[in-house]
Chains A and B, each alone.
Chain A
Amino acid sequence: MNERYEKELEQLIEREARKLPELRAPETLVHRVMLAVHAKERQPWWQRPWLTWPRSAQWVSVVLSGATVAALVYFGAGAWQAAGMGSPLGKIAQWFSSLAPIWEWLVTVANAIALVLQKGAQQYLLIALGIAGSMYLLCVATGTACYRLAYNRR
Chain B
Amino acid sequence: MTDTEQFEAFMKAYQNMVFTTAVRLLANEAEAEDVSQEVFLKAYERYAELKSSPTVGGWLKTVTRNLCLNHLTRYRARWRFFSEMAPDREDEDSMPEWAAPDTHEQQVATGDHRQLLEGVLQKLPSGQRVPLVLYHFEELSYEEIAAKLRVSLSKVKTDIHRGREALRRKLKLKLAGEEEWGGLDGAESPCLT
Contacts and interface: CB of A to CB of B under 8 A. Distances in A.
A5 B29 contact: no
Contacts of B85: 144
B77 interface: no
A12 B173 contact: yes
Contacts of A12: 164, 168, 173, 175-176
Given A12-B168, A151-B86, A23 B98 contact: yes
A9 B175 contact: yes
B167 interface: yes
B20 A23 contact: yes
A137 to B, nearest CB: 12
Please classify the interface of chain A as helix (H, G, I), strand (E, B), loop, or mixed, using the class held by over half of its residues.
Answer: helix
Given A1-B190, A2-B192, A23-B98, A29 B4 contact: no
Interface residues on B, range: 35 or more
B62 interface: no
Contact of B168 (A13, A30, A34, A151): A13
B18 A37 contact: no
B108 interface: no
Given A5-B175, A13-B136, A37-B41, A30 B167 contact: no
A5 B190 contact: yes
A104 interface: no
Interface in B120-171: 132, 136-137, 161, 164-165, 167-168, 171
Interface string B178-193: 0001000000011111
A24 B41 CA distance: 19
B44 A9 contact: no
A26 B11 CA distance: 12
B12 interface: yes
Contact of A23 (B99, B168, B175): B99
Contacts of A140: 81
Contact of A26 (B7, B33, B167): B33
B17 interface: yes
A37 B35 CA distance: 15
Contacts of A144: 82, 85
B175 A24 contact: no
A30 B41 CA distance: 11
Contacts of B132: 13
A30 B11 contact: yes
A120 B44 CA distance: 65
B37 A26 contact: no
Interface of B: 4, 7-8, 11-12, 15-20, 23, 29, 33, 36-37, 40-41, 44-45, 81-82, 85-87, 96-100, 110, 113-114, 117-118, 132, 136-137, 161, 164-165, 167-168, 171, 173, 175-177, 181, 189-193
Given A21-B100, A22-B17, A30-B11, 11 more contacts: A9-B175, A13-B168, A19-B114, A20-B118, A24-B16, A25-B33, A26-B29, A33-B11, A33-B41, A33-B44, A144-B82
